[in-house]
Chains A and B, each alone.
Chain A
């Protein structure tokens, strides 16, 4: 007693899909290290943190908002009482060096594939990163004096940045935190100018 071919095929496919599900959707645990302090946590903290003298927390937050506006970010969230500002912007992710490398890679892969087989359909399909969403959170806190008391006139500011990148077909290609010291250096350079302007305006 054999089932009709269409049903048999259907059952086989259903079984395969069912088997694939645990791999796709199941076992939702993040990597072991997700909540553990990484070995470079201290290094990161250093490059993301600055101490600012001669300013109160609110003025520093205002100066930070100024920098974010200069950089074209939109403010998503703020909580002055906790020294928090969150902002984001969506921008092009097209990186010319990235395209050159991908194009060269694809060309080589294409040539090798063509040499190995007559199947020309394997050529093409070059995907580029085209859009990115950059998210930034800025957190301030009063610096402590020698007896551990918060100082009203000196603050510590920490900035963390991350981004999501999509390719030309809308697939998410990167979800990463930005750890490049140059990015933070540039941000803090702009911040010192903004603080100067903020203090002059007062």
Chain B
């Protein structure tokens, strides 16, 4: 009975997922990289990487996240929010030319990348307030 149920679940998943090998998940994106970056990235007019990261951390704390990791040299922060659900965000900060910092956020929710542009807009709106700077869209 258990075995048959398992077969049925697999069959159901295959019908729905179009027979994707689970290993394909390693390199699967579902969207073009350009498309994803368009809503996950913003540029800020500052050359101060440390201050930008500190503002990202403060913003995440304001949004009720608890940090998982932070690294100034690599320019990255990972944090988790628990609020009846589990949401994990990684934010990277790297220089863009001499005068700007490029901030990229990407979030995972229930084993999927969050693809809702509004989600990222909300994050950058909160970050703008913490930075006292405007977030520029990046082409």
Contacts and interface: CB of A to CB of B under 8 A. Distances in A.
A and B are partners in one complex rather than unrelated chains: yes
B67 to A, nearest CB: 4
Interface residues of B, number: 50
Given A160-B67, A162-B66, 17 more contacts: A17-B12, A21-B13, A29-B119, A30-B119, A34-B63, A34-B81, A35-B126, A41-B64, A45-B61, A45-B62, A82-B54, A82-B70, A83-B54, A158-B58, A158-B61, A160-B61, A160-B66
Contacts of A175: 82-86
Contacts of B64: 38, 41, 44, 160, 177
Interface residues of A, number: 47
A56 B5 CA distance: 61
A28 B83 CA distance: 15
25 contacts: A10-B8, A17-B8, A17-B13, A25-B110, A28-B109, A28-B111, A28-B112, A29-B116, A34-B119, A35-B119, A35-B120, A35-B122, A36-B122, A37-B62, A38-B64, A41-B62, A76-B68, A79-B72, A86-B70, A135-B66, A141-B58, A160-B61, A162-B66, A162-B81, A176-B84
Contacts of B118: 32
B137 interface: no
B55 to A, nearest CB: 10
A18 interface: yes
A20 B62 CA distance: 36
A164 interface: yes
A109 interface: no
A82 B64 CA distance: 18
B82 A176 contact: yes
Given A37-B126, A45-B62, A77 B8 contact: no
A29 B85 CA distance: 11
B9 interface: yes
B40 interface: no
Contacts of A25: 110-111
Interface in B26-82: 50, 53-54, 57-58, 61-72, 77, 79-82
Nearest to B105: A35
B114 to A, nearest CB: 6
Contacts of A41: 62-64
Contact of A14 (B15, B66, B109, B119): B15
A65 interface: no
Contacts of A162: 66, 80-82
A35 to B, nearest CB: 4
Nearest to A19: B12
Interface string A145-178: 0000000000000101111100000000001110
